[in-house]
Structure 1
Amino acid sequence: MTTHATPAVLAVPGASPRLTARLQDGLGQVDALLREVVDHDDPFIAGASAHLVEAGGKRFRPLLTLLAAEVGEGINEQVVRAAAGVELTHLASLYHDDVMDEASVRRGVVSVNRAYDNSTAILVGDLLFGKASELVAGLGAEAVLIQAQAFVRLCSGQIRDDRPCPEGVDPVDYYLDVLADKTGVLISTAGRYGTMFSGASPQTVEILRGYGEKVGIAFQLADDLIDVSSDAEEMGKEPGTDLREGVDTLVVLRAKQIADPSVPADARLLELLGSDLSDDDDGLAEALSLLRSHRAFTLATEETEGVAREAQALLDPLPDSDAKAALRSLALSVVQRTG
């Protein structure tokens, strides 16, 4: 029998040792439940379903569920179940994302679409969505409704992310709205579930819902910057995925707005950003290099940190506690990471 280490808690500078220990114990329970839920009588299905669970990852969403519960009466069996349901929904979405992105690496291992094939990745992703729904169904009708609404927003965000910005709509506003759906809603659900199932007041549930959505947007904006600034070893996947797919993230949108065509480096950057980089490894590497040194990168970084600070401000009505301090720190830590 293979044993598995409990995932390390994402560094939360504001968490006390006692809070960190409770979070670590809670993550261990979540991880055990995930492994139990993705197991299957068919060894092939079991292996494909567990592919990303075994790869690890930050477990950010269940961590937020557990931390939000500490604002209420603490971690309990329902909170653990909700945390596992949110993480399983996230994992299922990654199976589909890797097919859409034609990814080769995820979390430092071969992506499931490469390890198996696209059809298997899609079907196992669907299976995991079903498993997540089974978990959440045990939490009651309201939890099921929240998950269903989150799933609709997640899918609509992914669809809109694949479409060009409509005529007459500000591209940055459009992109931030997409991120709120594509990433923000599931992290928002994590915060909402944590408070709901730990006996927190409706006002506190609403605060953590809004906080989670802001943190989710900041998290994705940070991922977009990491996709430009990091290498494959740091990320656990190939950098420049968005550029290769022609997705205009915030740093690209800002570069297109402020680049000066009379400056040779800017002119070359604009040329590359307007070209097809899907099969152009040299052009992709050059575009990444130019973006890293462009002031658009600094501007996008400042805006990303600004969203994190908006999330922090939402916590102001909560009484001071270890959990509140940790939540404040968590909001900034997601935008200051490098991978």
Structure 2
Amino acid sequence: MQPTVRDHALADGLRAGQAAVEEGLLRATKSDVPFITETARELTRTAGRRLRPLLVLLAARFGDPGAPGVVPAAVVVELTHLATHYHDDVRDEAAVRRDAPRPDANWDNTVAVLTGDFLFARASHILADLGPEAVRIQAQAFRRQVTGQILETTGPRDGRDPVEHHLDVLASRTGSLTAVSGQLGALASGADPRVADALARYGERLGVASHLADEVATPTARRPTLPVLLLARDADPADPSAPSNPADPSNPSAPSNPADPSNPADPSNRELYELLTGPAGQAGHAEAVARLRTHPVLDGAREETARQADAARAALSALPDCPARDALESLCETVAAPTAPSSCG
């Protein structure tokens, strides 16, 4: 996912910054043990589009983009992102992630987990040079990530709407690191603290929107996805765990399409849900996946994606008008586009 950048000076600056980040990642993933270097660089070569370093570089445009801590901050957030991928892929037990083999497809789970730990350690080492405030911000984000992973594993508590729970999990697991990207970029560049706060709100909502866009593009997975959860709600609209009030516009995590208990359950939705959540090899599963890709619940998931992107855009109203803000706004438009996945890596 790349922004639309019409300002030539900004475009040149971003290209130079991104090249410096790539060099920093190569240095950070080098070990005296060649095997560790190989494992640490596996996802560096295959993972996503560097959204989080990009947010650091754009955030730095509200201060001094050439400040010495900007590129290291971008390296830190990407190392952290990659480390969580190593751990997540082991937890998911999936053979492929975003069209690339998962780490332990080549090595066993122990090596994959320890490689993630190595990347966390390298990120912490670089982070220490950015000062105690940067360490505090990163630590808070990491706490939220772990909390989100635990909540995802345990599932919603009794009486909690699974859709609302899912959005909260995404805010913690994904939104926290995109939020910290803006914060660290602003901090490293010496930008006003109010800029950092606005970018944190923006980043969290953009991170959630990006993840939801991927869920729309790939609506079935080992983990819950919004389309499958909305399908479950449609299959049983009288579920007492579903919220009865419209979404609160002041709370971006609140679901925007609560169930209507007056609508009867659709037996075909129940059948489809049971097929999708059953074993992947069972009869009818492949057909169920194909049916979901054209199911009306995807419209509801797209609406939620757009709502999260709109909340991200609204956070930018506190920032001065400049090419960097325009680029950040264009990311909101990109992630909410109904025709393309966000590839939020």
The residue number in structure 2 matching 1:19 is 10
The residue number in structure 1 matching 2:232 is 256
1:110 aligns with 2:101: yes
1:86 aligns with 2:77: yes
**Change beyond 3 A, Cα 1:35–1:318:** same
Instruction: Answer yes or no: is the 8 Å Cα contact 1:92–1:126 preserved in 2.
Output: yes
Instruction: Answer yes or no: is the 8 Å Cα contact 2:228–2:273 preserved in 1.
Output: no
d(CA) in 2 for partners of 1:94, 1:88? 10
Q: 1:42 aligns with which of 11, 16, 33?
A: 33
RMSD between aligned alpha carbons? 1.9
**Change beyond 3 A, Cα 1:166–1:263:** closer
Which digits, 9 at most, give the CA deviation of each residue in 1:103-125, with x for residues without a partner?
22245432211111111000111
Instruction: Answer yes or no: is the 8 Å Cα contact 2:55–2:181 preserved in 1.
Output: yes
1:160 deviates by 1.0
The equivalences for 1:123-138 within 5 A come to: 123-138=114-129
**1:248 match: secondary structure:** coil
d(CA) in 1 for partners of 2:44, 2:161? 38
1:198 deviates by 1.2
Instruction: Answer yes or no: is the 8 Å Cα contact 2:210–2:335 preserved in 1.
Output: yes
The equivalences for 1:37-76 within 5 A come to: 37-76=28-67
Bigger Cα displacement from structure 2, 295-304 vs 69-78: 69-78
The structure 1 segments of at least 4 consecutive aligned residues displaced by more than 6 Å after TM superposition are: none
d(CA) in 2 for partners of 1:40, 1:284? 44
d(CA) in 2 for partners of 1:252, 1:108? 21
d(CA) in 1 for partners of 2:98, 2:228? 25
Which digits, 9 at most, give the CA deviation of each residue in 1:247-292, with x for residues without a partner?
332212211222487756434313324x422443x54322222222
d(CA) in 1 for partners of 2:100, 2:160? 39
Q: 2:278 aligns with which of 276, 279, 287?
A: 276
The residue number in structure 2 matching 1:184 is 175
Q: 1:207 aligns with which of 180, 198, 202?
A: 198
d(CA) in 2 for partners of 1:267, 1:283? 14
The residue number in structure 2 matching 1:233 is none
**Change beyond 3 A, Cα 1:264–1:111:** same
d(CA) in 2 for partners of 1:74, 1:92? 26
1:23 deviates by 0.9
The residue number in structure 1 matching 2:330 is 329
Q: Count how many residue pairs are aligned between Structure 1 and Structure 2.
A: 313
**Change beyond 3 A, Cα 1:46–1:291:** same
Using the size of structure 1 for normalisation, the TM-score is 0.87
Q: Which consecutive residues of structure 2, in runs of 5 or more, have no partner in the other structure?
A: 237-263
The equivalences for 1:217-228 within 5 A come to: 217-228=208-219
Using the size of structure 2 for normalisation, the TM-score is 0.85
Which digits, 9 at most, give the CA deviation of each residue in 1:154-210, with x for residues without a partner?
111111111221101122221111111100000000011111111211111100011
Q: Which consecutive residues of structure 1, in runs of 5 or more, have no partner in the other structure?
A: 1-9, 229-239
1:72 deviates by 2.3
1:277 maps to amino acid:
P
Bigger Cα displacement from structure 2, 101-110 vs 85-94: 101-110
d(CA) in 2 for partners of 1:294, 1:259? 13
Instruction: Answer yes or no: is the 8 Å Cα contact 1:66–1:75 preserved in 2.
Output: no
**Change beyond 3 A, Cα 1:177–1:152:** same
**Change beyond 3 A, Cα 1:72–1:284:** farther
Instruction: Answer yes or no: is the 8 Å Cα contact 2:21–2:75 preserved in 1.
Output: yes
d(CA) in 2 for partners of 1:126, 1:335? 33
**Change beyond 3 A, Cα 1:145–1:263:** closer
**1:77 match: secondary structure:** coil
**Change beyond 3 A, Cα 1:13–1:81:** same
1:298 aligns with 2:274: no
The residue number in structure 1 matching 2:255 is none
**2:70 match: secondary structure:** helix
**Change beyond 3 A, Cα 1:156–1:262:** closer
Bigger Cα displacement from structure 2, 104-113 vs 327-336: 104-113
**1:167 match: secondary structure:** coil
